[in-house]
Amino acid sequence: MRKRFIHLSRLAAGPAQAQALRVAIAVVMRDADVLLVCRQDGMDIAWQFPAGIVKPGGSAQKVAVRETFNETGVHCSIRAHLGERLHPVTRALCDYFLADYVHGEAVNGDTSENVAVAWAPISDLARYIPPDRVFPPILEALEAAA
């Protein structure tokens, strides 16, 4: 009986299917500043927003909040979902969230991934990330808040 149940449950589940890499990204605002992490990928160093991988069946919103805290020590709350896109460089499916700072000091909580963490003035974001690399709804949300 047990063997039959196992066999039938495997048939019902169907073949395993690959899932695209999904990433949750938090755009955390504190007054006129936005939270950034500086990642080192091989020889490249690049500023970006805190992000984390969403496991199958996981909540992108929860990952954005959790990874922001784990990477930076900053607690945030999600204000709005800014949209999603297939990232033009990494080809990962990205979910973008606008978040508000709640509390915490910005520190580098993940030295294996990040070189630094900083609050950058929204008006100077282009010094950190070229505007053509930022998802347009992020720029719109930051401009509306500034």
CB 73 within 8 A of CB 79: no
What is the token pair recorded at 109? 């909580």
What is the token pair recorded at 143? 């401009």
DSSP string, 15-81: S------EEEEEEEEETTEEEEEEEEETTEEEEE--EEEPPTT--HHHHHHHHHHHHHS-EEEEEEE
- CATH class of the domain whose range is 22-145: alpha beta
For the chain, the structural domain boundaries read 22-145
**pTM for the structure as a whole:** 0.84
Residues in the chain: 146
Per-residue pLDDT of the chain (146 residues; tens, 9 = 90+): 455 445 444 545 555 555 679 999 999 999 999 999 998 876 677 899 999 999 999 999 999 999 999 999 999 999 999 999 998 888 899 999 999 999 999 999 988 888 999 999 999 999 999 998 899 999 999 988 86
Number of neighbouring beta carbons within 10 Å of residue 133: 11
Question: Bridge-partner residues for 103, per DSSP?
Answer: 75
